[in-house]
Structure 1
Amino acid sequence: MSTVSSGFQTVEYAGVGGIRLVADEWNRDADTTGHPTILMLHGGGQNRHSWKNTGQILADSGYRVIALDSRGHGDSDRAPGADYAIETLTADVLLVLKAIEGPVVLIGASMGGLTGILAAHRAGPTKVTKLVLVDVVPRFEKNGSARIRDFMMSGLDGFETLEQAADAVAAYLPYREKPRSPEGLKKNLRFRDGRWFWHWDPAFMTKPGDDPELRTENFEQAAKHLTIPVLLIRGKLSDVVSPEGVKYFLATVPRAEFIELSNAGHTAAGDDNDAFSEAVVKFVRRPAGSSGR
């Protein structure tokens, strides 16, 4: 694969209704002819910085890479009327896909993975040629999902110090080694009115929800009709994706394959980034017609 300049720049895309979506993009102006663009979609309550290390590794491998802030997250605009419905998130992604020339590989974690399933199905196999799902399947575990929600809700009032925020993360991710300094959290927090707040719209959590059973059915139907290679990456310590959920997914999605990271949980890309990035690069590089099974 050819070597290209892999510096990144911050760019903007337009979502539904012209909403401003911010992204970090590697190799935007480089010649990556013959290679798909990689579009990375973070989980709820996260932002594009979650992908920085993997994005750089993929860029160094010669790919154009886009790490997108979903509406209401990071530096993207907050949604008018707190519209964070999965259908709207999917429509945003479809507009970004339309703005990208050539084929695209989607990588999505949690919320971004569910959005990616719908977007890949609707965009079609010529546009989205591969899909990576990071610790998410349509039949995810409700207890694990509730624990994520509890963690996000607990921080709505902000923190007095970065250290308090770091303690909250450490309690939520007890298996991950706590960083010596909390300074890295500044990418996920913003300081205002004397407190540190997570860098996402609180309305994302407090808005009325839709019917979860109907939503699961929509995800499952879309996944079953995917004809592209799909890589499911599970963190072995995850309480969101169960072995049973993996088994059902592999049995119902035609070209799905599976990798488990032994030292990771739901936040797999951050828990064991080296193993995660290695698996992703191997999958992306492989010819679309071949199988990893």
Structure 2
Amino acid sequence: MSPTRLFRTTTPSFRTPSPSFRAAYGAALAQWPEPVETADLPTPYGLTRVTLCGPAGAPPLVLLPGGGATSMVWGACAAAGLARTHRVCAVDLVGDPGLSVPEPGRAVRAVGDLVGWLDAVIDGLGVDGPVTLGGHSYGAWIASHYAVARPARLGRLVLLDPTLVFAGLRPGYVLRALPMLVRPTPGRIRSFLAWESGGAVLDPAWLRLQDETARFPAARPVTGPRPDLTGLGELPVPPRVDVLFAGSARCHDADRAARAARRALPDARVDVLPGTSHHALPLTAAGHIARLVAAG
């Protein structure tokens, strides 16, 4: 859910997800197109839950959610066609709400830790050759840093309304989010999402899961500088980059961010999708995202 590392500012110890969280997670998973598999991949930072959907022989697509959103946010995209053209590998971030299990005493604290964690996830998936890596919001920030550190492992990078990559956050957005940051409750989460999405109709199962994240013990997100993607174009075989901004996002100015992305990555495909908010993008624009990824 979170567009930025500002969310989840405490560092509680991990505890087993509650039965109500698991029930909400299961209800969201039940909406994915069949067949669906799950895997718990060992990494230096704990077990990482990955939801797998789509033909086993299809090109692999590793997807990272925004902070707090869980891998379940990708269900609409899988149903809209992603799972027909790709092997969707949707990841629960270690330390965030979800079914990944952090390793005690091995918290992810720096960008280098994120890179090592994602190395282990991709290795655990048994991907043969370059992978397509996609992310939304904070997940796009992680994916961008991974692309800078491991460009040879990527054939393609898909960034969906990335935050703190090409533009900063609007102060008004941060102020509006503060009540949820300081003391998250289901009511505050729903109120914030309704405001940011402009009242868009969001999936009830996903909203129920977001209610449950208010009580989930999440670790402090990794902080760090903006990833510098300008060097990708200078590589002998650079990964293909697609960037899609939500035209109605309140977290940043989408048009300004798109201009910055085009300057940094002149060979990338950069688009702004009108009428779509930041948090709702993977849900309400699922068909557009599926077509974007299928276009190659």
Deviates more, 1:67-76 or 1:90-99: 90-99
1:180-219 equivalent positions in 2, closer than 5 A:
184-190=206-212, 197-199=214-216, 201=218, 203-204=219-220, 209-210=223-224, 215-216=225-226, 218-219=227-228
TM-score by length of 1: 0.73
Alignment of structure 1 residues 268-287 onto 2, 5 Å: 268-270=280-282, 272-274=284-286, 277-278=287-288, 280-286=289-295
Tell whether 2:139 aligns with 1:117.
no
Question: Relative to 1, partners in 2 of residues 1:111 and 1:219: Cα closer, same or farther, differing over 3 Å?
Answer: farther
How do residues 17-56 of structure 1 correspond to structure 2 at under 5 angstroms? 17-27=44-54, 30-32=55-57, 35-56=58-79
Residue 265 of structure 1 contacts residue 271 of structure 1 at CA under 8 Å; is this kept in 2?
no
Q: TM-score under structure 2 normalisation?
A: 0.73
> 1-side partners of 2:85 and 2:169: how far apart?
39
Structure 2 Cα separation of the partners of residues 228 and 183 of structure 1: 35
Aligned counterpart, 1:11? 39
Letter in 1 for 2:53: W
Note closer, same or farther for the CA distance 1:77–1:182 as it changes in structure 2 (3 Å cut). Answer: same
- Alignment-derived partner of residue 240 in structure 2: 229
Distance in 2 between the 1:178 and 1:152 partners? 23
Deviation, 1:235, is 0.8
State percent identity of aligned pairs. Answer: 16
Measured after TM superposition, the shift of residue 55 of structure 1 is 2.2
The CA deviation at 1:177 is 2.4
The CA deviation at 1:259 is 1.9
Deviations 1:41-60 (A, max 9, x none): 11122210111110233454
| CA pair 139-63 structure 1, distance change in 2 beyond 3 A | closer
SS at match of 2:278: coil
Q: Deviations over 1:31-70 (max 9, x none)?
A: 42xx420110111222101111102334542421111011
Helix, strand or coil for the counterpart of 1:188?
helix
1:155-183 C-alpha deviation (Å, 9 max, x unpaired): 55343xx5564234323x2513255x965
The offset of 1:264, in angstroms, is 0.9
Query: Is 1:139 aligned to 2:161, yes or no?
Result: no
Equivalent pair of 1:37/1:63 in contact (CA under 8 Å): yes
Does the CA-based 8 Å contact 2:36-2:51 persist in structure 1? yes
Structure 2 residue 252 is matched with structure 1 residue 240: yes
Counterpart mapping for 1:138-157 below 5 A:
138-143=165-170, 147=173, 151=177, 154=180, 157=183
Aligned partner of residue 220 in structure 2, secondary structure: helix
For the residue of structure 2 that corresponds to 1:132, the secondary structure is: strand
Counterpart CA distance in 2 for 1:135 and 1:157 is 26
* 8 Å Cα contact 1:188-1:198 kept in structure 2: no
Question: Gaps (5+ residues) in structure 1?
Answer: 191-195, 288-293
Q: Give the letter for the 1:133 counterpart.
A: L
Number of aligned residue pairs: give it. Answer: 256
Q: Does 1:170 align with 2:194?
A: yes
The letter for the 2-side match of 1:104 is V
8 Å Cα contact 2:261/2:270 also seen in 1: no
Q: Report 1 or 2 for greater relative contact order, CA contacts < 8 Å, sequence distance ≥ 6.
A: 2
- SS in structure 2 opposite 1:115? helix
Q: CA RMSD in A?
A: 3.1
Unaligned runs of 5+ in 2: 1-32
Distance 1:200 1:86, change over 3 A: farther
- The secondary structure found in structure 2 opposite 1:55 is helix
Residue type of the alignment partner of 2:277: G
Q: Any residues of structure 2 matched to 1:24-103 within 5 Å, and which?
A: 24-27=51-54, 30-32=55-57, 35-73=58-96, 74-78=98-102, 80=105, 82-99=107-124, 100-102=126-128, 103=130
